[in-house]
Each structure stands twice: as structure tokens, then as C-alpha cells.
Amino acid sequence: MKLTVNGVHVVVPSTVETVTELLQHFELNQKVIIVELNAEIVGKARHAETRISLGDKIELVHFVGGG
């Protein structure tokens, strides 16, 4: 399935159907991470139930050092 993640075109296996599975696919499931799906924030509690589909635009952001 083709997606745009952080502005990059990626192809994920068809078994990846939810936000939780997407994070597992990229091995990000243990990280502090915030997910935006088509410009809507998806809170952590909704990762497992939120389905992703062909062409979705996904932003995965985290915290980095700053002042």
C-alpha cells in the first residue's frame, strides 16, 4: 500500500492496516511519537482503532533538543 510518511512516498505491506501496525512496521512503537493522519492528530488511545488507507498522508513527529 502506498502512503506518504513525513513527505516521503513509502510502500508498506498490505498487512499494515492501522496506525499501531504502521508504527510497528517502522519499529517506532516504543518511542514517544505523535501521529497526524491527513492533517488530523490521532491520539495514542486511538492508534489501534484508526485505520490507514491508500494515499494517506501521515506525519510522525517527536521531540528533539531545542531552546
Q: Does 64 bind another protein (CB under 8 A)?
A: yes
Site for another protein in 23-62 (CB under 8 A): 26-28, 31-34, 36, 41, 43-44, 59-62
Q: How far is the CB of 46 from another protein (least distance, A)?
A: 10
Nearest Cα to Cα of residue 13 among 4, 3, 5: 3
Separation between Cα atoms, residue 39 and residue 65, nearest integer Å: 24
Instruction: Let me know: does 67 contact 40? Beta carbons within 8 Å.
Output: no
Separation between Cα atoms, residue 9 and residue 25, nearest integer Å: 15
Q: Does 13 bind another protein (CB under 8 A)?
A: no
Q: How far is the CB of 64 from another protein (least distance, A)?
A: 5
Stretch that binds another protein, among 3-11, 13-21, 48-56 (CB under 8 A): 3-11
